[in-house]
Amino acid sequence: MIPPPWLHLTMQGVGFVKDVTADQVDALLRAARTRLGELDPVKARFHRPLIRPEAIALPPDPVVPVQEIRHTVRAAIGDVFGPDAVPDSADGYQPHISLAYVSTPQPAITTLDAINRVTTDPADLTINAVSLIEMHRDNRMYQWRTIEAVPLGQPA
């Protein structure tokens, strides 16, 4: 299980800390403030978990507005590093909040049965910022420190 402080909606990588200069971080934050300031906050509903190859995850509904946030973040990264230097593929992004990591090979049926026994109301969240973080995975899960949370809907 992922402890509550480390729950997150995965968005977009930038690069390894050793490869990104302080000036690039400043430029990236400026570009992100400008571009994300043009977007409205996004309301998303999270309800039924899915079993993914590496995690048990909650996908948002609707998906498209979250994908649009990622597209905007990728454009800000492209403003700084160039459009051909944006890490990760632009296609195939499946937004989600991971609830637990899968750390050993095992049949999914036990986990699926446990998920199907739980009845809950959906959680409605408003995504009103995107955080630039410095992340590591030293303790078998992602942990980070926030560099800056860039708000949506607040022009730079």
The pTM of the full predicted model, rounded to 2 decimals, is: 0.90
- Which region holds residue 146: left if phi is over 0, alpha if psi is between -120 and 50, else beta? beta
* Averaged pLDDT, groups of 10, the chain, 156 residues long: 89 93 97 97 95 91 97 98 94 93 84 89 96 85 89 87
**Cβ proximity of 153 and 128 under 8 Å:** yes
pLDDT of residue 39: 97
pLDDT of residue 103: 81
